[in-house]
Amino acid sequence: MNGPAEPFKIKVVEPVNLPSEKRRKEAIREAGFNTFLLLSEDVYIDLLTDSGTSAMSDNQWAGMMLGDEAYAGSKNFYNLENAVKDILGFKYTVPTHQGRGAEHLMYSHLVKPGQIVPRNMYFTTSKVHVELPGGKMVDMIIDEAHDPENTHPFKGNVDFNKLQGYIDEYGVDKISFVNVEMDVNMAGGQPVSMENLRKLREFCDDYKLKIIYDATRSSENAYFIREREKGYENTPIIEILREMMSYSDGCIYSSKKDCLVNIGGFLATNNEEIFEATRSSVVIYEGLHTYGGMAGRDMEAVARGLQEGAQYKYLKYRINQVRYLGELLMKAGVPIVKPIGGHAVFLNALKFLPHLSREQWPAQTLSAAIYEDSAVRTMERGAVSKGRDSQTGENIFPALELVRLTIPRRVYTNTHMEYTANSIINLYKKRDSISGLKMVYEPKYLRFFQARFEQIPL
């Protein structure tokens, strides 16, 4: 491994068990071949998500004991507000129980029926929270992002021709706001460059359009800016973050990723009108504006985690662990998305299982096969996640049909990475024997969470 050794030592451990081959076969069938429906105790290494799965530090656990559980005016809220001011540079913070709570408040305030929200690339919950008030989310990421082999250093960048195209097609009044996700999840954990963010601000100023970030993985994005963008080689991560945020009108944030906590979220802004509106609606959906669905102790852990997660030394270890897993797979010829992303390694299911049609859900199939082989739990990120067109009701088959191996922060060792890589490499060798799936149950919203499948004989 090229990166540094872990900048921490382990104080508490949690036992994990490898279920037998027989149990793995049963468990994935009981779960309808959907890894979301597996029992956690049937999982050996859980790479389903990096969301809410971090190991907290002793400093965060100490903070938990200082929870001020007052209904109103908890001091932990003010610690959170100050951390957001220091690290992201936003004056106003509205706490929520997690990221989608913030999306709900922000997007239901900004989106009017019939409006369009251009975003570098959709995320599942973001798309739904734009659609519920009657809007439509459209992608405007650079074409390179749709090609798993392309090694562009900032595949999360906005394509200004696409944004201009939406303005020309719909008219500027129909654009609700412009949405940019940091370290784009569905593109493979790919960052946006500072230059792109700066230019987007100038572009949107010309049209008086607001820019709202999904800043969920902004610290990991900032690490890539420092690593890859000229002029930032020695800039502290917090300075990079503040500059990134300065080009927006506010953000939503799922604290469950870069803040190294198990639950929490917020929205933050310097815009008084957005703040007034969301501070008013938070009390209906989440809780009072000084807790928003979080316990005092959870807000303290977020405040401390936002700081810790923005430290260069930590981020270097984090990004390099993900890279270690990716490189093991790449060296063995397993098709993955390049460059290796910030929070996860993504397998290219279309290349892994070329004998399956899109209707046989290759990424869902591969994710289930990995579980059956090794009890490593991964997630489909392809057509099942993308869902149907909200107007025509047809399935959408995105260019990227991926399986995500998402690495929880500070949780697994490099030996766990090696076990995972070995199992996937073995599976790749016998890939021709893997048969596809058909969907037999489809829920109305965010179908990937609860859909069920059956195996189609080869």
Segment contacting ligand F0G by CB under 6 A, of 120-128, 153-161, 171-179, 303-311: 120-128
**Choice from 32, 35, 46, 49 touching ligand F0G (CB under 6 A):** 49
For the bound state, the minimum distance from the C-beta of residue 193 to ligand F0G, rounded and expressed in Å, comes to 18
For the bound state, the minimum distance from the C-beta of residue 117 to ligand F0G, rounded and expressed in Å, comes to 14
Active site annotation includes 257: yes
Active site annotation includes 23: no
**Choice from 76, 120, 125, 176 touching ligand F0G (CB under 6 A):** 125
Is 303 or 356 the residue whose CB approaches ligand F0G more closely? 303
Report residue 38 CA to chain centroid gap: 21
* Closest residue by beta carbon to ligand F0G: 99
Active site annotation includes 213: no
Structure tokens belonging to residue 393: 């009701």
Active site annotation includes 397: no
Q: Which residues pair with 405 in a beta bridge?
A: 345
Give residues 326-385 in contact with ligand F0G (rule: CB under 6 A). none
Binding pattern for the stretch 178-217 against ligand F0G, x by CB under 6 A and - elsewhere: ---x---x----------------------------x-x-
Is 47 or 369 the residue whose CB approaches ligand F0G more closely? 47
For the bound state, the minimum distance from the C-beta of residue 350 to ligand F0G, rounded and expressed in Å, comes to 21
Is 344 or 434 the residue whose CB approaches ligand F0G more closely? 344
In sequence order, the 6+-apart residues with CB closer than 8 A to the CB of 354 are: none
> What is the identity of the amino acid at 161?
N
Q: Tell me if 142 sits within 8 A of 158, measured CB to CB.
A: yes
**Choice from 34, 51, 360, 385 touching ligand F0G (CB under 6 A):** 51
Is 245 or 356 the residue whose CB approaches ligand F0G more closely? 245
Active site annotation includes 160: no
Size of the site for ligand F0G (CB under 6 A): 15
For the bound state, the minimum distance from the C-beta of residue 93 to ligand F0G, rounded and expressed in Å, comes to 16
Sign of the CA dihedral with 444 first, then 447, 452, and 457 last: positive
Active site annotation includes 406: no
Give residues 81-110 in contact with ligand F0G (rule: CB under 6 A). 98-100
Selecting among 24, 210, 257, 377, the annotated active-site residue is: 257
Active site annotation includes 214: yes
Is 304 or 343 the residue whose CB approaches ligand F0G more closely? 343
Kindly report the backbone phi and psi dihedral angles of residue 235, in degrees, each rounded to the nearest multiple of 5, phi listed first. Answer: -80, 130
Which of 241, 270, 171, 252 has its CA nearest to residue 216? 252
Selecting among 123, 154, 213, 453, the annotated active-site residue is: 123
123 in contact with ligand F0G (CB under 6 A): yes
Is 293 or 436 the residue whose CB approaches ligand F0G more closely? 293
Rg (the chain; Cα; Å)? 21
Give residues 223-262 in contact with ligand F0G (rule: CB under 6 A). 254, 256
**Binding residues for ligand F0G, per CB under 6 A?**
49, 51, 98-100, 123, 125-126, 181, 185, 214, 216, 254, 256, 265
Q: Write out the catalytic residue numbers.
A: 71, 123-124, 214, 257, 381, 448
